[in-house]
């Protein structure tokens, strides 16, 4: 009889021990890592779902990073807009309550406030988040607004700023004679007074010169008088005129004639003259003469003086407002010929002769909506738009109005002259009124608050998506943990059971290896 060795008979026990050791090592690794396996292969049938869940969690994390960046950018932009809203309120309030107390620089305290707010406005519109300018549209690496000092004072001797453009426009609007480029004269018959715009005969009808006051309308309460309204510009020569004929009968005391003029900025101003027999003649009156011919001459004299006051008062303010509109155009517009007082055209300026205030992406139909100039995806099928351009209607209008208010000044050395002081006070009163009007909300026009509302909508969409993604991530993580994770108690129990089995196997194997034929017998 053949007796085999113990090792041959018990090799299967060794294999079992190795298997138990491998299981123990696996369970120990699971307990220390908290994972079923270190590779997807070890997950068995759950590996495909695990890969999909990890991809979903990674996508949610990337959206969370995007949301953080967007909230930061929108937050910075909204801080700028909040300040701009406050500036608009400050300057409007200052203009409404302002008087004509000029300091040694020829400006009022309200204008000083506007000057500080203008520089602050430029800083707000040049706001950055990281290396990104927020009000440049797609030109995110370009500061959208030129330096405030350059906008006001120009860039060197040959590149004009706003103050120079305002001064040139004022000269062109006043005209060579300083009368707003309109005049009056006794007409034919001699009982009539004719008010005419400056002669522009050399120009074709379609090219009427844009400067000075324009005759708009005339009316009267004088019985028997007749009026002739301005010629319709649609089919008439560029020069327009209007007239009033007193007729054969003298007006009565208190009868009025009203002349309406359109200012350079499109607003209208009235000159109302009242018939009077008092001596001295009250302001805003014309003397009743011996007959209607003499009265017409007196009316013409009073009207000439009143138009000159209008030209050197409210029209100067209107000229400054229109010059601001010209300067902030893209491209800017400049008085086009010399001498400036006789100029008849506006021409486009460029960077070689005029400060270009806005340097970002243009707010045009071709470039699309301003908000669409910056778009980010915050969820699988959700994008938010948060772009902005400093030349949007609301932002440009406010910056332009504040800048003009801050730029206008009178000559403080001439304020001792009563006539100059009267004109200066009329200018600032008209300017205050226009600034307050231009800073008021107009139905149908964009406001800074509208831009804030757009940003608030973007932030609401981001928050909604983020809240939803937090829940999605939590559910995906729970499912992933159920696939890849372990139950610590269960694994620990298995380890104890394996340790017991392994110990028993070791003891059995040891006993078998110690057995001999003598012990067996």
Rounded to the nearest angstrom, the gap between the alpha carbon of residue 440 and the centroid of all alpha carbons in its chain is 15
More confident residue, 4 or 20: 20
pLDDT band at 1; cut points 50, 70, 90: very low
- pLDDT score at 509: 65
Residue linked to tokens 């300018």: 133
Q: What is the mean pLDDT of residues 376-399?
A: 93
Q: What residues does 272 pair with on adjacent strands?
A: 258
pLDDT band at 499; cut points 50, 70, 90: low
How far apart CA 40 and CA 42 sit, in angstroms, is 5
The pLDDT tens digits of the residues spanning 81-103 come to: 999 999 999 999 999 987 778 99
**119 C-beta neighbours (distance < 10 Å), count:** 17
- pLDDT score at 321: 98
Judged on CB neighbours under 10 Å (0-12, 13-18, 19+), 315 is buried
> Do 387 and 137 form a contact (C-beta atoms < 8 A)?
yes
Q: What does R_g of the chain's alpha carbons equal in angstroms? A: 43
How do the domains of the chain map onto residue ranges?
A: 182-312
The pLDDT tens digits of the residues spanning 134-145 come to: 999 999 999 999
Q: Tell me, letter by letter, the H, E, C secondary structure of 142-171.
A: CCCECCHHHHHHCCCCCCECHHHHHHHHHH
The pLDDT tens digits of the residues spanning 25-58 come to: 555 655 555 565 555 555 555 667 667 777 778 8
Preceding amide of 331 cis, omega within 30: yes
Q: What is the mean pLDDT of residues 183-196?
A: 93
pLDDT at 13 over 80: no
The pLDDT tens digits of the residues spanning 62-84 come to: 888 889 999 999 999 999 999 99
How far apart CA 126 and CA 135 sit, in angstroms, is 7
- pLDDT score at 98: 72
- pLDDT score at 120: 97
The 8-class DSSP code of residue 126 comes to T
Average predicted confidence (pLDDT) for the chain: 86
The pLDDT tens digits of the residues spanning 249-297 come to: 999 999 999 999 999 999 999 999 999 999 999 999 999 999 999 999 9
- pLDDT score at 206: 45
**What's the N-to-C CA distance of the chain in angstroms?**
14
Which among 169, 173, 165 is positioned nearest to 356, based on CA atoms? 165
Q: What is the mean pLDDT of residues 200-217?
A: 72
Which among 248, 447, 407 is positioned nearest to 320, based on CA atoms? 407
pLDDT at 199 over 70: no
The pLDDT tens digits of the residues spanning 324-373 come to: 999 999 999 999 888 999 999 999 999 999 999 999 999 888 999 999 99
- pLDDT score at 363: 85
Residue linked to tokens 């206008």: 408
């Amino acid at each position: 009889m053949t007796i085999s060795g113990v090792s041959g008979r018990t090799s299967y026990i060794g294999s079992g021990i190795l298997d138990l050791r491998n299981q123990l090592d696996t369970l120990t690794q699971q307990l220390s890592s908290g994972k079923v396996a270190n590779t997807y292969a070890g997950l068995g049938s759950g590996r495909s779902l695990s890969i999909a869940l990890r991809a979903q969690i990674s996508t949610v994390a990337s959206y969370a990073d995007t949301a953080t960046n967007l909230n930061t950018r929108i937050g910075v932009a909204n801080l700028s807009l909040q300040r701009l809203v406050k500036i608009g309120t400050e300057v409007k309030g200052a203009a409404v309550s302002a008087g004509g107390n000029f300091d040694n620089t020829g400006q009022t305290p309200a204008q000083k406030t506007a000057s500080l707010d203008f520089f602050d406005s430029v800083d707000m519109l040049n706001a950055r988040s990281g290396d990104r300018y927020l009000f440049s549209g797609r030109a995110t690496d370009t500061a959208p607004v030129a330096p405030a000092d350059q906008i006001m004072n120009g860039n060197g001797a040959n590149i004009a700023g706003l103050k120079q453009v305002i001064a040139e426009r004022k000269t062109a609007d006043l005209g060579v004679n300083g009368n707003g480029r309109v005049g009056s004269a006794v007409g034919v018959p001699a009982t009539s007074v004719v008010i005419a715009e400056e002669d522009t005969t050399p120009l074709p009808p379609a090219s009427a010169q844009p400067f000075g006051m324009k005759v708009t309308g005339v009316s009267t309460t004088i019985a028997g008088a007749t009026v002739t309204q301005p010629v319709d510009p649609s089919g008439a020569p560029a020069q327009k005129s209007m007239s009033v004929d007193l007729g054969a009968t003298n007006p009565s005391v208190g009868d009025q004639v009203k002349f309406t003029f359109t200012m350079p900025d499109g607003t209208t101003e009235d000159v109302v003259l009242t018939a009077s027999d008092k001596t001295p003649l009250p302001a805003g009156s014309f003397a009743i003469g011996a007959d209607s011919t003499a009265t017409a001459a007196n009316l013409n004299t009073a009207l000439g003086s009143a138009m000159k006051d209008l030209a050197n008062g409210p029209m100067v303010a209107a000229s400054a407002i229109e010059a601001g509109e010209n300067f902030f155009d893209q491209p800017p517009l400049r008085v086009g010929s010399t001498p400036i007082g006789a100029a008849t055209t506006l021409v486009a300026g460029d960077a070689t002769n005029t400060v270009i205030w806005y340097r970002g992406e243009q707010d045009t139909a071709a470039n699309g909506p301003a908000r669409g100039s910056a778009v980010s995806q915050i969820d699988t099928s959700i994008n938010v738009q948060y772009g902005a351009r400093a030349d949007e209607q609301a932002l440009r209008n406010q910056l332009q109005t504040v800048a003009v208010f801050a730029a206008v000044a009178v000559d403080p050395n001439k304020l001792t002259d009563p006539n100059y002081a009267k004109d200066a006070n009329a200018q600032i009163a008209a300017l205050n009124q226009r600034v307050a009007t231009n800073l008021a909300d107009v139905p149908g026009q964009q406001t800074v608050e509208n831009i804030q509302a757009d940003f608030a909508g973007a932030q609401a969409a981001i928050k909604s998506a983020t809240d939803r993604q937090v829940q999605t991530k939590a559910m995906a993580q729970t499912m992933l943990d159920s696939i890849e994770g372990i139950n610590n108690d269960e694994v620990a129990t298995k380890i104890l059971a394996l340790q017991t089995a392994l110990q028993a196997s070791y003891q059995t194997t040891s006993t078998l290896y110690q057995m001999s034929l003598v012990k067996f017998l």
